[in-house]
Chain A
Amino acid sequence: MTSVGVRLLLVTGRTVRQGRALESGKLQQEYMDSVAVCEVDRTTLRVLGVTDGGPVRVETIHGSVVVRCRVREGVDPGIAFMPCGPYANAVTGGHTATTGMPEFKGIDAVVLPAPGEGVPTPEELLRAQLEEGA
């Protein structure tokens, strides 16, 4: 089955929920719920054919990850926002242009519906990345 993806510019950043959850405990469900998210505008959600909170796959040249898709007021068409954390970093590159700073904002991404796919836990995500490096 082919699925329709939407090309977006991925921006990562802080949210209050993510800030509270990371202080509370990184291995808690609340942390996962706060960061395993991709926020888009209503039109993008409709084009993807995904319900609010449904699973999507975010793909960049650096990797891909399954997260929950949410409609967010203030996110423009053409932009996807992910709270900073392990899920956003799964699709972020390590090149720093000799500054030490990776490009965490403004990453070309494709968001695809991922029906039936589960969102990995932070631990599962980490294990998968460590296996890639083994």
Chain B
Amino acid sequence: MGRVICSFCGCLCDDIEVGVQDGRIVSVRNACALGRVRFLEWDRDRLRHPTVLRGGEYVQVPLSEAIDRAAEIVSSARRLLVYGLSSTENDAHREAYRLAELVGGVVDNTSSVCHGPSILAVQQSGIPVVSLAEVRNRADLVIYWGANPVAAHPRHIQRFVRAEGAFVRDRELWVVDVRRSETARVADRFVRVQPGSDLEVLSALRAIVNGHTLDVSSVGGLAMSELSELAERMQSAQYGVIFFGLGLTQTGGRHHNVDAAIRLVQDLNSHARWGLLPMRGHYNVTGANDTSTWQTGYPFAVDFARGYPRYQPGEYSAVDMLVNRECDAVVNVAADPAAHFPREAVRHLGRIPVVNIDPKKNMTSLVASVNIPAAVAGVECDGIAVRMDGLPLYLKKAVDPPPDVLPDREVLAEIYVKVAEELGR
């Protein structure tokens, strides 16, 4: 099967060839190390059957019984949190929003712990976006800032930065980071900044680009002479791009760091064409932001308690909901908060019922009251996902899911019907 989309990271590589024999994936071509595992080990360590927690033990039950138990949890919750969504396809998102709206709950996606701060910055300052095709064909200076694509998006450099461009002959690749990452080692230039000083360095570059003189000898570990040289080179580019990662969003300053990067790029547009793009991790986290915005008006951290959507990161975002002990039940879809949230948030997962919908066993499956296995989107069911630059792509189905295992969208739709029945709506 040719031109399959890889549903691992936000690159959504669209040139994967998957060999299928007797209903099993036997070979993969063109995928990176991460994508190969996504396809070749799709069936490893699966949640094979729906289970419910009874007397401290997980008991295997028919799907209908697991749906009933999940619906019971959802309908009796006073403050439901629906979380995850970034590793499933768009139609599943729609069902998740319907469910949250039905019970006046909160729905948040994993962007609150990845590029949520980037969204806050974009809402404040706008974003001069670029498409990945433009980058490949036109960019002559590409900067990864606080991002390590060699580890997290292994084909990003190969497909869009080191690839031959239609309108560009020489392209420079820089990395700005606090450590010499794997990506820094393959870059043409590595700029090491002191940890926690991205905001200062970005602001200093802005000042220089705008013709100001700073009365200091260094900023963020960089001598003024080096900063001036960097700014000059950035202004002389024909087409520059900053790809920024969690090095900006997960450090102190958070959205202020991204805001400074956006404003630097806006300033550089007086001199050359510049754009920037967040390096999105989960393959459909961009889709989760898009669908949430289409359906609710807001990209993440949405509350339906008043019957209409309200938006407040820091209050309706998943970590805050858990740390503040605000939610009394969680429906987790295609994510693993027990593994990826700080311990203070994980503690609350143990106090409340959790409905876990995921293809694989994970740490949340060990704490859940109900586990419902789902088909692997992009492998066992089709759907739409959105690439990091906003391009929607069609995920193909390569093999059938295990017997009685449904896509996320169908599991959520069945829970919705049951909850609506129970609440008489």
Find chain B residues with CB under 8 A from A84 CB.
Answer: 340
Select one of A26, A92, A129, A130 contacting B336, CB under 8 A: A26
Answer yes or no: B387 CB below 8 A from chain A CBs: no
Q: Mark B297-330, 1 if CB is under 8 A from A, else 0.
A: 0001100000000000111011110110000000
Is B314 within 8 A of A98, CB to CB?
yes
Given contacts A14-B281, A134-B351, contact A62 B344 (CB under 8 A): yes
Given contacts A15-B151, A16-B34, A132-B343, contact A100 B116 (CB under 8 A): yes
Is A23 within 8 A of B345, CB to CB?
no
Closest to B118 in A: A101
Q: Mark A64-107, 1 if CB is under 8 A from B, else 0.
A: 00000000011110010100111001111111111111111110
Is A25 within 8 A of B44, CB to CB?
yes
Closest to B108 in A: A100
Given contacts A11-B195, A101-B116, A105-B246, contact A126 B178 (CB under 8 A): no
Answer yes or no: B342 CB below 8 A from chain A CBs: yes
Answer yes or no: A123 CB below 8 A from chain B CBs: yes
Answer yes or no: A28 CB below 8 A from chain B CBs: yes
Is B34 within 8 A of A19, CB to CB?
yes
CA A25 – CA B154 in complex, angstroms? 20
Given contacts A26-B362, A122-B363, A133-B351, contact A19 B247 (CB under 8 A): no
Find chain B residues with CB under 8 A from A102 CB.
Answer: 113, 250, 319, 341-342, 345
A103-134 interface (Cβ within 8 A of B): 103-106, 122-123, 126, 129-134
Find chain A residues with CB under 8 A from B154 CB.
Answer: 16
CA A22 – CA B338 in complex, angstroms? 13
Given contacts A76-B179, A86-B363, A89-B340, contact A130 B350 (CB under 8 A): yes
Find chain A residues with CB under 8 A from B170 CB.
Answer: none
Answer yes or no: A27 CB below 8 A from chain B CBs: yes
Given contacts A23-B34, A89-B341, A101-B117, contact A126 B366 (CB under 8 A): yes
B125-171 interface (Cβ within 8 A of A): 148, 150-152, 154
Given contacts A23-B37, A106-B195, contact A100 B301 (CB under 8 A): yes
CA A54 – CA B181 in complex, angstroms? 23
Q: Mark B113-126, 1 if CB is under 8 A from A, else 0.
A: 10011001000000
Binds A, one of B222-230, B251-259, B403-411: B251-259
Closest to A134 in B: B350
Answer yes or no: B339 CB below 8 A from chain A CBs: yes
Least Cβ–Cβ distance between B224 and chain A, in angstroms? 22
Is B342 within 8 A of A92, CB to CB?
yes
B353-382 interface (Cβ within 8 A of A): 360-363, 366-367
Is A93 within 8 A of B113, CB to CB?
no
Select one of B45, B322, B344, B350 contacting A24, CB under 8 A: B45
Answer yes or no: A20 CB below 8 A from chain B CBs: yes
Least Cβ–Cβ distance between A33 and chain B, in angstroms? 15
Is B360 within 8 A of A26, CB to CB?
yes
B204-254 interface (Cβ within 8 A of A): 246-247, 249-252, 254
B170-205 interface (Cβ within 8 A of A): 178-182, 184-185, 192, 195-196
Answer yes or no: A9 CB below 8 A from chain B CBs: yes
Is A74 within 8 A of B344, CB to CB?
no
Is A9 within 8 A of B195, CB to CB?
yes
Select one of A28, A93, A94, A122 contacting B339, CB under 8 A: A122
- 7 shortest A-B CB distances, which residue pairs? A133-B347, A100-B317, A25-B45, A98-B314, A130-B350, A94-B344, A74-B180
Interface residues of A (CB under 8 A from B): 9, 11-16, 19-20, 22-28, 62-63, 73-76, 79, 81, 84-86, 89-106, 122-123, 126, 129-134
20 pairs of residues in contact across A and B, judged by CB atoms under 8 Å? A13-B246, A16-B154, A23-B8, A25-B41, A26-B362, A27-B363, A76-B192, A79-B178, A86-B338, A93-B344, A96-B314, A99-B313, A101-B249, A101-B250, A102-B319, A103-B251, A103-B252, A105-B251, A106-B195, A129-B346
Contacts A25-B360, A129-B346 aside, 7 further interface pairs with beta carbons under 8 A come to A9-B195, A79-B178, A90-B343, A94-B343, A106-B195, A133-B350, A134-B350
